[in-house]
Structure 1
Amino acid sequence: MPCFSEKNETKTYDRETQIPVLRCSICTGEQVGEFRDLRTGKFQEVCLIRNETEQEKFMKEYGITSISKEY
């Protein structure tokens, strides 16, 4: 299943209980677009982000205006 759809559709997530996060590895530089549950702290991985363009696509698909990085 590809991370990004070819259609211009906005996907959704529960904005009341989840926040978008980029989890970044300090060793490899790998970044993963995820949603963190505010109550449990658990992450829901969405996709691997390899460059700035993919980060912009991830944010656009989910209607995200700002995103924090966690290491």
Structure 2
Amino acid sequence: MKQDHGKKPYYERYLSEDIPFDPDKQTAVIKCSICTGEQIAGFKNKEDGNFTEVMLIRDADDLAKFKEIYKIEEIKKVY
């Protein structure tokens, strides 16, 4: 993602506005690939199970940023 010379990264400025999170209708999950180990953070709709991808999780810092942006304390993994 593009950074603006030391300013806040794109995902910290616009992510929560572009992809809203409604805890009543959605659950925050990390979708993990069994084969490659790739992890995608996003939201799973409680009604129909639709998954909305938000960001790639490469390390613990990315996960912490995702939780901070959306004010999430607990997140479950789905394989």
**Greater RCO structure (CA 8 Å; 6+ sep):** 1
Task: Specify the SS of the correspondent of 1:4.
Answer: helix
Which one of the candidate residues 25, 37, 41 is aligned to 1:33? 41
The alpha carbon displacement at 1:15 in A equals 1.0
**Coordinate RMSD, CA, aligned:** 2.1
The reply on whether 1:20 has 2:41 as its aligned counterpart is no
Whichever of the two has the greater Rg, that structure is 2
Query: Number of residue pairs matched?
Result: 69
Identity of aligned residues (%): 40
- TM-score, length of structure 2 as denominator length: 0.77
Q: 1:10-68, CA deviations, whole angstroms, 9 ceiling, x for partnerless residues?
A: x3411110000000011111000010000000001001111111001001100000000
2:11 to 4, 14, 23: 4
Q: State how 1:41-60 maps to structure 2 within 5 Å.
A: 41-60=49-68
